[in-house]
């Protein structure tokens, strides 16, 4: 009865997608794609076992995944196995009724579904056994190859129910040629960042643009980085522990204040009305000098990049007087894969997931779509562009990463509370204190929902990274 009640709740959440204001509650990232229409691999002969794989068609597209499916099919033709792979920006919306009916695809790449509800409903199969098998290109168990923190987001007890196909890092992107032509240098401290922005404005360029139509994603991820710089891992721990008034704590309020000041002074005019591709186009056209974004930025904008554009990245500078270690960065796994419990070909689904996320595939994945593998050290430096190499520089120089789990735990809070509050903060319509109260009140309501699943919390150790709470 408990599982059925949770899954009824899942259906209820999806029905609310039809309401325009709440469309992001389940599919908050699915509109970020701006990609091609629905695809299926062509099939000639129907083998005995057809394994359906559904891929969210976002910033990385599905071209590489289709190529890997074709390669897998060629290598396994004698087994009577064929991967049939399709992709769509609306994967989650398409798959939801099939999950409810019990006839889902065998493997899905899309974390935009409420995965914790699915886990609690026993609708996902764990990767436990699959992680004990060595992937192609290694003699070690698959689970031992993932980088720090990559398997934590959807871990419950000893089981992992979804794992990432890509490394995620939230960085500041800029055009190195623009900086070089103007004599600017990437800042090391926040005071240097402010001084740089003043110089950029004086040159008639907007210092910063933002994907303003999607504050629940782009604004949120930027804010998380600000929280660590202002309050250190202790501030991240308070939010991850879902402590009352975590967002109203002075450290979190200071992060909100710094972010609001930065936005109101240096944000490109009209950016809050821009989609992700519109604001990113402003960046690559040189109308804005910097943008906060994930590692998919270059691949998503590759068809719009001027020939002389030198996309590079640096991490958020240290705050003067802040408590956070600047050698930590906001990152986590991305592009999560999962196998539904009702999948008809679970064994092949796990095998193909291991085929995609393997040391053997990492170089080609980096070269083709600019993905840094979530497997530790698996992406050769010479397999990725100079832009991605600059991201690897940040990762290699870092002491670790951090993330906040509320985004994945509370889809309704994400769309109904956090996204709206974030937009108001960036526009300067509310104070940082009011922002904190709205966030805290929203978390309290979300926690009171009997259908919400809150897994155990594993805190970061600030002292281990030289931070003083």
The answer to whether residue 395 sits within a structural domain is: no
pLDDT at position 149 = 85
- Residue 240 sits at φ, ψ, to 5 deg, of -65, -30
Mean of pLDDT over the chain: 90
Res. 455 pLDDT band, cuts 50 70 90? confident
CB 356 within 8 A of CB 369: no
Q: Rounded to whole angstroms, how far apart are CA atoms 312 and 328?
A: 18
The position carrying tokens 């404005």 is 201
**231, 243 Cβ separation under 8 angstroms:** no
Q: Which two tokens stand for residue 232?
A: 């250190």
146 assigned to some structural domain = yes
175 with 307, same domain: the answer is yes
Question: Is residue 365 in a domain?
Answer: yes
Q: How many CA atoms lie within 13 A of 61 on its CB side?
A: 17
* Token pair listed for 318: 């240290």
Domain containing 156 equals 2-164+336-373
pLDDT for residue 169 is more than 80 = yes
Do both 222 and 352 map to the same domain? no
Q: Are 288 and 200 in contact (CB under 8 A)?
A: no
Q: Residue 38: what pLDDT?
A: 38
- Bridge pairing between strands 107-109 and 155-156: unpaired
Cα(116)–Cα(95) distance, integer angstroms: 16
Confidence of residue 294 (pLDDT cuts 50, 70, 90): very high
Reported as a single tens digit per residue, the pLDDT across 125-154 is 999 999 999 999 999 999 999 998 899 899
* Full DSSP string of 226-273: HHHHHHHHHHHHHHHTT-TTTTTSHHHHHHHHHHHHHHHHHBPTTGGG
**What local confidence, expressed as pLDDT, does residue 16 receive?**
40
183/321 same-domain check: yes
Q: Are 143 and 217 contained in the same domain?
A: no
Spatial distance between the Cα atoms of 258 and 190, rounded to a whole number of angstroms = 10
Query: For position 81, what pLDDT does the model report?
Result: 96
How far is it, in rounded angstroms, from Cα 235 to Cα 252?
A: 7
Provide the 8-state DSSP code for 29.
T
Question: Among 227, 199, 402, 243, which Cα is nearest to 323's?
Answer: 227
pLDDT interval class at 120 (50, 70, 90) = confident
Position 388 in a domain: no
pLDDT at site 45: 54
187 shares a domain with 137: no
Kindly state whether residues 30 and 91 are assigned to the same domain.
Answer: yes
Q: How many CB atoms within 10 Å of residue 468?
A: 8
Q: Which pLDDT score, from 0 to 100, does residue 44 have?
A: 54
Instruction: Note the pTM of the prediction, 2 decimals.
Output: 0.84
Query: Is pLDDT above 60 for 6?
Result: no
Q: pLDDT per residue over 299-314, tens digit each? A: 999 999 999 999 999 9
Q: Please indicate, yes or no, if residue 385 is contained in any of the structural domains.
A: no
Structure tokens at 442: 């929203």
The span from the CA of 117 to the CA of 115, in Å, is: 5
Tally of domains in the chain: 2
Please determine, for residue 29, whether its predicted confidence score (pLDDT) is greater than 50: no
Residues 341 and 433 in one domain: no
Whether 40 is covered by a domain: the verdict is yes
Note whether residue 12 is domain-resident: yes
Do 231 and 254 touch, CB atoms closer than 8 A? yes
CA 262 centroid distance within chain: 23
Considering the domain architecture, whether residues 139 and 268 belong to the same structural domain is answered as: no
Per-residue pLDDT, 71: 97
**Residues 455 and 361 reside in one and the same domain:** no
Length of the chain measured in residues? 469
Residues 296, 429 share a domain = yes
Average pLDDT over residues 293-302: 93
**Which segments of 81-224 are extended strands (E)?**
81-88, 107-109, 124-125, 155-156, 159-160, 163-169, 171-175, 206-209
Q: Reply yes or no on whether the pLDDT at 21 is more than 60.
A: no
**Confidence (pLDDT) at 450:** 87
User: Comparing C-alpha atoms, which of 399, 407, 396, 351 is closest to residue 372?
Assistant: 396
Q: Is the confidence at residue 425, as pLDDT, over 70?
A: yes
Together in a domain, 95 and 195: no
Q: How far apart are CA 335 and CA 374, in angstroms?
A: 10
Query: Phi, psi (5° rounding) for residue 10?
Result: -60, -45
> Is residue 398 included in any domain, yes or no?
no
Residue in this structure with the two tokens 């798959």, named with its chain if needed: 95
User: Which pLDDT value is given to residue 323?
Assistant: 96
Distance CA 393, CA 187 (A): 16
Does the pLDDT at position 39 exceed 80?
no
Count of beta carbons in the 10 Å neighbourhood of residue 466: 11
Mark whether 277 and 367 lie in a shared domain.
no
According to DSSP, residue 428 is labeled T
Mean pLDDT lowest among 46-55, 223-232, 301-310, 454-463: 46-55
Q: What is the pLDDT of residues 393-407, one digit of tens each?
A: 999 999 999 999 999
CATH no. for residue 454? 3.40.190.10
Q: Per-residue pLDDT for 70 more than 80?
A: yes
């Amino acid at each position: 009865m408990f599982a059925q009640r949770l899954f009824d709740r899942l259906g209820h959440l999806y029905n609310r997608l039809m309401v325009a204001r709440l469309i992001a509650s389940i599919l908050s990232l699915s509109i970020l794609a701006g990609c091609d229409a629905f695809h299926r691999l062509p099939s000639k002969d129907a083998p005995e076992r057809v394994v359906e794989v559904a891929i969210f068609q976002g910033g990385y597209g599905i071209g590489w995944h289709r190529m890997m499916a074709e390669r897998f099919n060629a290598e396994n033709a004698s087994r009577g196995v064929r991967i049939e792979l399709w992709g769509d920006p609306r994967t989650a919306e398409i798959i939801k009724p099939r999950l409810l009916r019990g006839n889902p695809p065998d493997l899905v790449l899309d974390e935009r579904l409420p995965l914790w509800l699915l886990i609690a409903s026993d609708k996902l199969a764990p990767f436990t056994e699959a992680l004990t098998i060595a992937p192609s290109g290694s003699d070690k168990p698959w689970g031992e190859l993932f980088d720090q923190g990559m398997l934590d987001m959807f871990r419950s007890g000893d089981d992992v129910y979804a794992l990432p196909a890509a490394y995620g890092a939230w960085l500041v992107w800029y055009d190195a040629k623009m900086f070089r032509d103007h004599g600017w240098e990437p800042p090391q401290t926040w005071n240097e960042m402010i001084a740089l922005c003043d110089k950029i404005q004086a040159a008639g360029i907007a210092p910063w643009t933002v994907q303003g139509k999607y504050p629940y994603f782009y604004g949120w991820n930027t804010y998380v980085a600000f929280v660590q710089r202002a309050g250190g891992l202790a501030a991240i721990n308070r939010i991850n522990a879902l402590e009352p008034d975590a967002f109203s704590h002075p450290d979190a309020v200071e992060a909100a204040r710094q972010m609001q000041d930065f936005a109101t002074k240096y944000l490109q005019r009209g950016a809050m009305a821009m989609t992700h591709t519109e604001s990113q186009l402003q960046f690559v056209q040189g109308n804005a000098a910097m943008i906060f974004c994930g590692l998919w930025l270059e691949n998503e904008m590759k068809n719009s990049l001027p020939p002389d554009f030198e996309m590079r990245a640096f991490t958020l500078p240290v705050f003067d007087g802040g408590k956070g270690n600047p050698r930590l960065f906001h990152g986590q796994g991305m592009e999560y894969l999962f196998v539904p419990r009702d999948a008809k070909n679970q064994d092949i689904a796990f095998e193909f997931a291991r085929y995609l996320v393997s040391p053997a595939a990492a170089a080609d994945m980096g070269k083709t779509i600019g993905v840094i593998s979530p497997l530790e050290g698996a992406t050769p430096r010479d397999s990725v562009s100079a832009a991605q190499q600059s991201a690897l520089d940040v990762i290699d120089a870092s002491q670790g990463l951090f993330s906040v789990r509320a985004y994945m735990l509370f889809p309704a809070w994400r769309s109904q509370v956090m996204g709206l509050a974030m937009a108001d903060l960036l526009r300067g319509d509310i104070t940082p204190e009011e922002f904190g109260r709205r966030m805290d009140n929203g978390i309290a309501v979300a926690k009171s929902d009997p259908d919400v699943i809150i897994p155990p919390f594993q805190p970061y150790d600030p002292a281990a990274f030289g931070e003083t709470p």
